[in-house]
């Protein structure tokens, strides 16, 4: 009998576990020290369940709610961040969306007993992002290594056109992810999958009833009274459940533009609505529909028509300037110098272009829409370009949520000049790297729109030249000159604004095999149309190995690549280098007196298919000097995963060649 009781309890326990309910935390779960499926994981999602469903309210119609339940195990201190949750909700118009958290608890094992710590009021707050979006945030209390945290939240929305995107993968392992949609027969949605994990999908249909209550005035003889009645409407509800189990942590790989683009997820697009006794209404958006709605918004299109706040200033600024290119540069530089970006993204103005101009500070939209308006005032064919930043990812279908940023574009003969005045270091066609996310969409004054390729076309060069001498003890001494052009120069300028010179030099010394740097200088930092030039003298003791009567060193010394950045056996994502680039090294190495070259690496010339990348590596021995020339060129900013095996092999050859040694022998 005891055996059957134990078996029954085990079955009940298994059934409860499969239900994935909040509040079901066990001592064994709290004792667990390492994630069984990934020992490196700082945390793991034990389960995540979501449900999006419709609620009908008489007089208001259908609203859409999404409930989410989450249970997370914390294994390491690095996983503490998972005790902080934030949920975005729409506040751009009335009615707004709302978010409510509940059942937020931290569980710990204390003296063999389970201790519960509930979310306190000071751990919950709202942060307004801009006029359109806000964040509801919570921070769970008493989180430690070994804790389990749980919470539930519900998003209440009057906007049935917008479903949340459900992500089955995270940056930590997910044991179980379940998402259910319950959609009345009146609404038609396309579901779109993304990523490389296919969920198990089950479908069902049930009958629901809407009960409508009416109150009518009825006259009986001379008396008037209210009479109540009800009416029931039955409709079919289509239920779909998506389940993914044991999803591995989605880890960022080298050269990925945004990992969000490859997360296994499902999105829903509203294509139409047909209510009882009504005609079918199409909601299927085209990109033209989307841009028209954005352009007509008071915080976008009308802002481009305002010019009284800058008219006199721009008239004075461009007085006497007739050339188109000079006008563009003059106005662009004026906006960059006058305006200061407040760090907020978005394609809609918060306070408006006029106030931003007066205050000399604004969000992305205020600065770049102002720039477009000024260029148009100067009779330049300028238009706004809507984009999605790298961190925001790429949308699968036309939607206003597809964009979170706007830049300016000037259309000239068969080309578009791209401008972003939020960065002081930006120049035409050299945008902040956050902007470089495949395609944008230009909106013209007559209402048409078109895709714009944001990928840089020109090659950004990094040219290192050096005169180096090696003494008999294997010590190096020399001077280095490094020239950064285009995007390389932009990145140096941006980084220089954020770092202290002394700290930067210390990091550079460490990066270059602990050399000692002196006479460090940067030139052309403020001359944005010229390459940045970095120069310094150096001494080093760690790049030459002496064994007996021989010296061994890499021709590229401390610039040699030590490992292949592409380590995965298989690559699912495109390789995104951000911009095409060329790394060139030209060295003259004077060998010590009394030594001669015994062997040198052989020259090599490599070319990938379709000329995607090339390497030219040449060494020449003059007797007292070794001349080294190495040029690595990547001609495309984005390389398809179809080329991954070849790309991995190519960079493997680059590392192998740069690891080969020059051997000097004492004579």
Cβ-contact 245, 176 below 8 angstroms: yes
For 472, the enclosing helix (H) or strand (E) is none
Centre a 10 Å sphere on the Cβ of residue 530 and count the other Cβ atoms it contains.
13
Question: How far does Cα 329 stand from its chain's mean position?
Answer: 30
| Phi, psi of 206, rounded to the nearest 5 degrees | -130, 165
Helix orientation angle between 311-318 and 324-338, rounded to the nearest 10 degrees: 130
Residues 437 and 578: beta-carbon distance below 8 Å: no
Residue 522 contacts residue 495 (beta carbons within 8 Å): no
Measure CA of the first residue to CA of the last residue in the chain; give whole Å.
93
Q: Which residues contact 28 (CB under 8 A, 6 or more apart)?
A: none
Supply the pLDDT for residue 18.
55
Burial 301-338 (b: 16+ CB within 10 A, else e): bebbebeebbeeebeebbeeeeeeeebbbbbbebbbee
DSSP, res 624: S
Position 9 scores a pLDDT of: 40
Quote the pLDDT of residue 568. 87
Residue 430: name the closest of 579, 558, 550, 607 by CA.
579
Burial class of residue 66, CB neighbours in 10 A (0-12, 13-18, 19+)? buried
Long-range contacts, stretch 453-459, CB < 8 angstroms, 24+ apart: 454/387, 454/418, 455/579, 455/637, 455/638, 456/429, 456/430, 456/486, 456/487, 456/578, 456/579, 456/580, 456/637, 457/580, 458/429, 458/486, 458/580, 459/486, 459/580, 459/581, 459/582, 459/633, 459/635
Residue with tokens 């007066």: 358
CA distances from 254 to 476, 576, 577 (A): 33, 8, 9
Distances (CA, A) of 276 to 175, 184, 186, 282, 342: 42, 12, 8, 15, 49
**Cα 442 from chain centre:** 21
* 229 φ, ψ (degrees, to nearest 5): -145, 160
Note whether 624 and 501 are within 8 A (CB): no
Residue 8 gets the label, from left (phi > 0), alpha (psi -120 to 50) or beta, of: alpha
What are the mean pLDDT values of the chain's consecutive 10-residue runs (667 residues total)?
Answer: 41 50 94 95 97 92 95 97 95 90 96 95 90 91 97 94 90 97 94 90 95 79 75 94 95 80 89 90 84 90 95 96 95 98 92 97 97 97 96 81 93 94 97 95 88 95 97 96 98 89 90 95 96 97 95 96 91 92 98 96 97 97 96 96 96 96 95
Which contiguous run of DSSP H or E holds residue 588? strand 581-590
How many CA atoms within 13 Å lie on the side-chain side of 216? Answer: 7
**Whole-number pLDDT of residue 17:** 43
- Cβ atoms of 633 and 582 closer than 8 Å: yes
Between CA 447 and CA 348 the distance in angstroms is 17
CA dist 175 and 85 (Å) reads 19
Looking up tokens 């840089």 gives 456
| CA–CA distance, 410 with 430 (Å, rounded to integer) | 14
> Residue 289 and residue 293: Cα distance in Å, rounded?
6
Contact (Cβ atoms closer than 8 angstroms) between residue 253 and residue 571: yes
Tokens in use for 513? 């095999």
Structure tokens at 283: 């909601």
Token pair of 503 as six digits: 């700290």
Distance CA 615, CA 637 (A): 16
Q: What angle do CA 185, 189, 192 make, to 5 degrees?
A: 145
**What residues form DSSP beta bridges with 117?**
106
C-alpha radius of gyration, the chain, whole number: 32
User: What pLDDT does residue 8 have?
Assistant: 40
> Cβ distance 76 to 206 under 8 Å?
no
Q: How far apart are CA 584 and CA 615, in angstroms?
A: 10
pLDDT at 221: 66
- Count of other CB atoms within 10 angstroms of residue 179: 24
The Cα–Cα gap between 499 and 503 comes to 7
Spatial distance between the Cα atoms of 119 and 97, rounded to a whole number of angstroms: 22
For residue 492, cis peptide bond before it (omega within 30 degrees of 0): no
Please report, for residues 59, 160, 216, 643, the alpha-carbon distance to residue 212 in angstroms, rounded to integers and kept in the order given: 10, 21, 13, 61
Q: What is the 3-state secondary structure (H, E, C) of 5-54?
A: HHHHHHHHHHHHHHHCCCCCCCHHHHHCCCCCCCCCCCEEEEEEEEEEEE
Are 330 and 485 in contact by the 8 Å Cβ rule? The answer is no
pLDDT at 499: 80
């Amino acid at each position: 009998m005891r055996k059957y009781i134990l078996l029954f309890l085990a079955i009940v326990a298994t059934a409860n576990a499969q239900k994935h309910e909040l509040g079901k935390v066990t001592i064994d779960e709290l004792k667990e020290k390492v994630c069984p499926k990934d020992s490196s994981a700082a945390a793991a999602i034990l389960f995540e369940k979501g449900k999006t469903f419709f609620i009908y309210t008489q007089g208001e119609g259908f609203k859409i709610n999404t409930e989410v339940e989450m249970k997370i195990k914390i294994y390491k201190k690095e996983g503490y961040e998972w005790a902080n949750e934030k949920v975005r909700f729409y506040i751009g118009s009335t009615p707004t969306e709302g978010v409510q958290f509940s059942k937020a608890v931290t569980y710990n094992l204390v003296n063999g007993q389970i201790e519960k710590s509930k979310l306190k009021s000071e751990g919950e707050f709202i942060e307004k992002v801009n006029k359109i979006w806000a964040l509801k945030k919570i921070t769970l209390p008493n989180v430690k290594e070994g804790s389990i945290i749980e919470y539930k939240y519900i998003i209440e929305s009057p906007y049935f056109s917008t479903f949340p995107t459900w992500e089955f993968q995270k940056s930590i392992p997910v044991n179980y992810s379940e998402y259910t949609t319950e959609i009345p027969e009146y609404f038609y949605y396309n579901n779109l999958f993304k990523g490389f994990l296919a969920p198990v999908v089950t479908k069902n249909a049930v009958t629901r009833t809407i009960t409508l209550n009416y109150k009518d005035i009825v006259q009986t003889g001379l008396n008037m009274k209210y009479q109540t009645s009800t009416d029931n409407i039955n409709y079919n509800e289509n239920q779909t459940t998506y389940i993914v189990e044991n999803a591995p942590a989605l880890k960022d790989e080298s050269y990925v533009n945004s990992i969000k683009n490859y997360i296994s997820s499902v999105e829903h697009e509203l294509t139409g609505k047909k209510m009882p006794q009504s005609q079918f209404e199409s909601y299927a958006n085209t990109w033209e529909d989307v841009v028209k709605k954005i352009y007509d918004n008071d915080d976008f299109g009308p802002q481009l028509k305002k010019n009284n706040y800058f008219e006199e200033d721009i008239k004075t600024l461009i007085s006497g300037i007739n050339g188109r290119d000079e006008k563009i540069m003059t106005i662009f530089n004026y906006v960059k110098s006058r305006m200061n970006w407040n760090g907020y993204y978005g394609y809609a103005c918060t306070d408006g272009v006029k106030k931003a101009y007066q205050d000399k500070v604004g969000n992305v939209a205020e600065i770049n829409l102002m720039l477009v308006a000024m260029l148009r005032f100067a009779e330049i064919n300028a238009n706004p370009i809507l984009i999605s930043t790298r961190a925001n990812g790429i949308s699968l279908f036309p939607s206003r949520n597809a964009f979170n940023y706007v830049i300016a574009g000037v259309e000239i003969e068969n080309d578009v000049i791209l401008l972003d005045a939020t960065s002081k270091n930006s120049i035409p066609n050299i945008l902040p790297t956050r902007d470089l996310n495949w395609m944008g969409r230009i909106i013209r004054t007559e209402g048409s729109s078109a895709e714009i390729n944001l990928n840089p076309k020109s090659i950004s060069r990094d040219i290192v030249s050096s005169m180096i001498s090696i003494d008999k003890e294997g010590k190096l001494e020399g001077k280095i000159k490094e020239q950064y052009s285009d995007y390389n120069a932009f990145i140096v300028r941006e980084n220089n604004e954020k770092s202290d010179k002394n700290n930067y030099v210390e990091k550079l010394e460490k990066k270059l095999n602990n050399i000692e740097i002196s006479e460090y200088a940067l030139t052309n930092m403020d001359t944005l149309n010229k390459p940045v030039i970095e120069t310094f003298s150096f001494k080093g003791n760690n790049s030459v190995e002496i064994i007996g009567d021989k010296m061994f060193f890499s021709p590229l010394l401390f610039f040699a690549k030590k490992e292949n950045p592409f380590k995965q056996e298989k690559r699912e994502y495109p390789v995104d280098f951000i911009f095409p680039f060329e790394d060139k090294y030209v060295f003259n190495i004077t060998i010590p007196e009394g030594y001669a070259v015994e062997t040198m690496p052989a020259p090599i010339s490599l070319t990938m298919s379709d000329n995607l990348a090339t390497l030219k590596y040449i060494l020449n021995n003059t007797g007292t000097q070794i001349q080294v020339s190495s040029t690595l060129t990547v001609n495309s900013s984005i390389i398809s995963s179809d080329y991954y095996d070849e790309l991995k092999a190519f960079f493997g050859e680059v590392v192998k060649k740069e690891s080969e040694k020059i051997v000097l022998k004492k004579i």
